[in-house]
Structure 1
């Protein structure tokens, strides 16, 4: 497993999984932010705990006036050119590496793309989109999914920028493709002191690779800095307020923007929401429970089918059978028809990849059945889709950018193997199937070369326009309770609930959800209080 699994939006994750096997990523981490320290005072780390805690400080807005030393960035002009993708234009904007010490000598170049409003109807402004991760390419997301929904596309210029450290915007680099192949096979359920040492060594080598290749950038890829880049872009585009749709981690980015610039926040949709009042240990533990909820839903569906490879009894028995398969793979990895075998860690990632969208459940059933018969190719393909490893063996930058952001945004969940061992009972209660894997994967940020600059906080965003927070009741990567928590702390937040499975809700087939969000984006009217959709 990577140092932290990214939050993946369902649209991107499901599409990747489908391609491996036959809008408007997200996704996941051994918690999403594999960073995280001991639980903050007053906050329980058990899954489903009430929050926010009363002692969590608020994120303070930045001064409304643009500082003189940042004015050149706000006043810059973009030179648009054809992207090579029909209907899209691209440009490059400059942003300071360090907002505290801006200098042209160290400026970052951030990639921007747009698809101009098509009409009919008057143009409302720009609509920035972000698919999550952290580390997902917003430009790829825009170019693949901007055609929908047509009514929104007609009235907005659709905009995306790859955040600093991501894809086309000064990408973080860490390991070679061959090194990543070895890293993804690392045993994340160590049974012996030697296996623990191997896991720690893999995490250290990963961190050292990132420092070696991207050391100057690592201290400056925080979510707060990415949000400040978004305000620069808003000004360059000529918009008085930022309109935004963010999925998964993109909700944290959007909420952070609202907290820093409440007077400049326009129509914000935060789908598959995260809760900034949680420390990293709580994030990891609650996400473990979220994936357990998703697996239970998959298992209940599977055991109803005669060909279910996990039996036809009940979800508990299905979980035991899957755990037994993982244990077999730990001892005897399977052939896959490639030069890589299916290890326990790769198989676990493959199962997790299919939890993002119930549309991938048939693929998962087939892949598990193949593994039971001695063929690991199906689960390996699902794992590769999660890691964004293409057919040539090349890994996308997301697996490097993800821990770089997460490990900077919050202190590590654990700082030693002994702390992980002490936490294993809680993680196993959260998920008998995935608990050990998630707990040990959460150790990675302990070895990160840059000390975290972020802390847990509330985001009240007082003075911001209405903000729509969307939560899915059986979301694996961003549990529903997080959406409730974020909506409650936002002064102008409105919770919109999707009763169903999968990660995120907008554009996934619910007319109720899509109509509510489209109406908000087009005329500014938020959904009714406590609106629920199926």
Structure 2
């Protein structure tokens, strides 16, 4: 029941470094054909397709296409170069349109200096999309199940094994090549296609880790990199799922206490324990009707998780849960299932779920004995009753046909420094992950937000975070030492 909504939180990343930059030779320059971006009504945003090797060890072999977008710098006289952007897990939608979001939130002096480049990672949406042959997405595009009993666990074993078989059947040609390292290598092909000697980069979560991998593989081509709550590459992916359980329980405790202090507004309980009981009972009672539609447990869990993860979402998600409990329509609806923008065609209906699963399974080996997952459930569910039932449960990667450790060791003597962002109350990625990446990239500076939060720049961070990131992108100036920002004022 704590199903797919939770896996969005359970993605991670791991770094282990090769000795040289690349399996293949430098790709030849491409002539890009720029045109309108499907799904966008902003004429300044232009799109083009870049051909990249399916297997970068065989650069002359089969090619796939990666769709990129470009929003020009606002001051060509001050233009420094290009800033590639990516965020979330590899299956997160909307990467092609990130330049529009960032342009509206970056400081003018930083925005002026870069052409903003977005892209769909390989196999996602408009970049040679894959399917596992399913008729719909999982909530938020993540395969996940929560087992409350041995019988449910055995059912999930069957479902996970079948999902792995179906992915192999429909996308077996792509599965070995769905790795963070290959995204980094695709970025270097994009750099060449754009005619740039170096690139700057803004990435969050697993795609922030991609930035650390790129800096390791291509240090001479790395300019200004902002890595926002990146995952620790050495803990991809199963270990990172387990590590997050305690963080999520703590975040739920904090969110519940915040709601309880406002019981006259939300009516979900006067203590944190009462709120947790009320909300978890809603999960268990689902599906039920409210506000003219049926709500599943996964959907309610997802609204809860948004409130746990981001201080800025605390009020709207608490208000949504309160309204749904009363049988009303939520006042702050949020998309529950991934989808493509109107005008975008050719994307399989289960693409985001297929992509997120493919990357998690191809990057690093998983336990293959199903009994080990059952033991984890028995261990973690009593300790973490709200989130242990899903985070420790069996996953399709247990049955994946392709098994190899594809992690890159990040860092090295010649790796350039980056600006790394983290948050003390991050319920998705432990602060230790950002510290590990900042330590691996020598000379990097870590800016820590004293709050719940994840994608800090340029969306949810305090002025302290925004100022450091904007200054670095505009001038290249890193803080003299690591920075601990004061807690921002929470709304509501």
* CA positional deviation for 1:409: 0.7
What SS is found at the alignment partner of 2:450?
strand
**Structure 2: gaps spanning 5 or more residues:** 343-347, 487-492
* CA positional deviation for 1:224: 0.8
Distance 1:391 1:190 in 2: 36
Match of 1:129 among 85, 109, 114: 85
1:192-211 equivalence runs, <5 A = 192-193=150-151, 195-211=152-168
Change (3 A) 1:395 1:461: farther
2:389 aligned residue: 436
Residues 202 and 225, structure 2, Cα contact 8 Å, conserved in 1 = yes
TM-score by length of 1: 0.80
Distance 1:321 1:494 in 2: 42
Distance 2:143 2:291 in 1: 16
What SS is found at the alignment partner of 1:497?
strand
* CA positional deviation for 1:247: 1.1
Distance 2:421 2:136 in 1: 39
Match of 1:218 among 169, 175, 189: 175
CA displacement 1:287-318 (0-9 Å, x = unmatched):
222222322221121110123443112x3443
TM-score by length of 2: 0.86
Distance 2:28 2:308 in 1: 41
Match of 1:464 among 382, 401, 415: 415
What SS is found at the alignment partner of 1:134?
coil
Residues 291 and 324, structure 2, Cα contact 8 Å, conserved in 1 = no
Change (3 A) 1:169 1:461: farther
Residues 128 and 245, structure 1, Cα contact 8 Å, conserved in 2 = yes
* CA positional deviation for 1:169: 0.3
Change (3 A) 1:326 1:185: farther
* CA positional deviation for 1:411: 1.3
Distance 2:203 2:332 in 1: 29
Distance 2:362 2:3 in 1: 13
Question: How many equivalent residue pairs?
Answer: 473
* CA positional deviation for 1:216: 1.2
**Structure 1: gaps spanning 5 or more residues:** 7-27, 37-56
Match of 2:184 among 207, 222, 227: 227
1:521 aligned residue: 473
Match of 1:388 among 334, 338, 352: 338
Change (3 A) 1:363 1:515: closer
1:356 aligned residue: 309
Distance 1:261 1:486 in 2: 16
Query: What is the aligned-residue RMSD (CA, Å)?
Result: 3.2
Residues 251 and 273, structure 1, Cα contact 8 Å, conserved in 2 = yes
* CA positional deviation for 1:336: 4.6
Match of 1:273 among 218, 224, 230: 230
1:37-436 equivalence runs, <5 A = 58-63=16-21, 67=24, 70-71=25-26, 73-83=27-37, 85-103=42-60, 106-119=62-75, 121-136=77-92, 137-149=94-106, 150-178=108-136, 180=138, 188-193=146-151, 195-305=152-262, 306-313=264-271, 315-329=272-286, 333-336=287-290, 341-373=294-326, 378=330, 382=334, 385-388=335-338, 397-412=351-366, 414-424=367-377, 426-428=379-381, 431-436=384-389
